[in-house]
Amino acid sequence: MTRKYFGTDGIRGRANGVITPDLALKVGQATGLAFQRGSHRHRVVIGKDTRLSGYMIEYAMVAGFTSVGMDVMLLGPMPTPAVAMLTRSMRADLGVMISASHNPYEDNGIKLFGPDGYKLNDEVEAEISKLIDSDLAPRLSNAPALGRAKRIESAHARYIEFAKRTLPRNMSLEGMRIVIDCANGAGYKVAPEALWELGAEVIAIGVDPDGFNINKDVGSTAPDALIAKVRELRADIGIALDGDADRVLIVDELGQVVDGDQLMAVIARTWQEDGRLSQPGVVATVMSNLGLERYLAGLGLSLARTAVGDRYVLEHMRSQGFNLGGEQSGHIILSDFGTTGDGLVAALQLLAAVKRQDKPVSEVCHAFEPLPQILKNVRYKQGQPLKEKPVVSAIEAATQLLGESGRLVIRPSGTEPVIRVMAEGDDRDLVMRAVDDIVEAVTKAAA
C-alpha cells in the first residue's frame, strides 16, 4: 500500500518544499473526486491554523475542490477538533484541516476527515494517492458544474457552544482564575472566549499570531511561559494547547506540569463515579506510565495499550467500544463528544472534576505517583540495528534486570531514523542501567 504522500497524520512537510500549491491543488481535486458519492451537491469545510503558508495552501485547495464541482465552506483559523465536528454538523462530505500541529511555522500539513468526522483510513488514503498521480484533466467539471466558495462566519460561535455543552448542566467556572496559552495557533480566538463565557477570569497568552510565531516558545511543547504566568498571577490553573489545539497540557497552581496520563486518570475516575465509562477501562499507548496502569487497576479499570499515535488509540477505542483514551503527550480522545483529540474539551472535563472536588488542581491532578521513566534516542544512518545480535542480547538482559517491577519499550521512530529506548520501573538506578546498556549496544550496532 502506497505511503507516498500520507504519513501517520495526513500529509506533512516543509511549506513550498513538500507541501506546494501544486500538491495542494491535486489533493483537493483527488480527494474531491474520491468523495463524490451520489448526485447531491457535494461540499467540503476547510479550516487552518495560523501559519503564513496557510493562505497559499487554502486557496490552492479551494481551486482544486471547486474544479471538480465541490462547494467549499471556509472556516478560517479553527482547531482541528472543530473542523471534525463541523464536518459532521454541517453535513459536509469532507473536512480539511491545514496544519502541521506542534511543528514550527516553516512546516505545514493537510489532514482529511470523512463525512463522519473521522480521519481517513489507509485504504482511502491509498485511493487518493493513486488519483493524485493520475491524469485528472478528463475528470474536471464542466463550466456550469464548477463549485462555489464562501466564508462561514458562524463557525467560531458554533464550536464554542459545542465545547460548553460538554460540561454538566449549570456548571460554572466562576471564581476560577485561568491562564490559557493558545500557542499563537488555531485556538487563539475560541478557547479564551469559551472559558470566559463559562464564567472564569481568563488571562490569555499565545494569542497574537503573526504567521511566524506558532508554537514558538509557547504552547504545550514549550510550557515555561505558562508556568511563569501562572505563578506570577497566582492563577488556579494553566492550560496550554498546541498549534492546532488537539492536545493539551495542564499546569497546576504551584507551576507543576500535569501530563496526559494524569488527565486520563482524573477523567477516568470521575466518569467511573458517574457511570459514564462505556467500558471498564482506558486506551493509551505503550508510552503511558506504569503508574497510570496500576492506578486504574486499583479502581478496577483496565489499561489497553496501542502503538504510539492518536490514530491507533482511536482505532482501538472504536473497535472495542471504549469512550476514553489518549496519549501522555496530551492527545485526549473523549468519543462521547468528538472523533479526534480535543484540547479544550479535555481541559473542560478536568475543570469539571476540580470544581466538583473543590480542591486545588495540584491535589486533583496528582492521581498517582509516576514511576521513574527514562527515554533516550539513538540516531542511525542505515540498516536495522534492532536485529543485530548484541542488541537483541542487551534487550533480553535488560528485560531480566527489570523483572516484574518494570517495563521496556524499544521502537524505531515513525518519522525519522531514530531508535527510541524507554524503560520504567520502581528502581530508578535499575531503569537507568537498563536504558544505558541498550543505548550502548544500539549505538555500536548503528556505527
- Which residues are part of a known binding site for Mg(2+)? 101, 242, 244, 246
The Cα 125–Cα 253 span in angstroms is 44
Look up residue 81 and give its amino acid: P
> What DSSP state is assigned to residue 25?
H
Paired strand residues for 203? 179
C-alpha distance from residue 33 to each of 70, 84, 331 (Å): 9, 20, 31
Please identify which of the residues 67, 99, 101, 329 carries the catalytic annotation. Answer: 101
The order of strands in the sheet holding 302-306 is: 302-306, 281-285, 324-326, 332-334
The Cα 364–Cα 355 span in angstroms is 10
Q: Element (H or E) spanning 258, and its range? A: strand 257-258
Smallest CA-to-CA distance from 253 within 275, 269, 231 is with 231
Do residues 220 and 328 make contact, with C-beta atoms less than 8 angstroms apart?
no
C-alpha distance from residue 430 to each of 213, 292, 390, 437, 443 (Å): 41, 20, 20, 11, 20
Is residue 408 helix, strand or coil? Answer: strand
- CA neighbours closer than 13 Å in the CB half-sphere of residue 111: 26
To 5 degrees, how large is the angle CA 353–CA 249–CA 8? 120
C-alpha cell belonging to residue 396: 533480553
The Cα 110–Cα 171 span in angstroms is 36
Do residues 131 and 112 make contact, with C-beta atoms less than 8 angstroms apart?
no
C-alpha cell belonging to residue 139: 475528470
Smallest CA-to-CA distance from 46 within 155, 138, 126 is with 155
The Cα 175–Cα 184 span in angstroms is 26
**101 catalytic residue (yes or no):** yes
Look up residue 325 and give its amino acid: G
List residues with catalytic annotation. Answer: 101
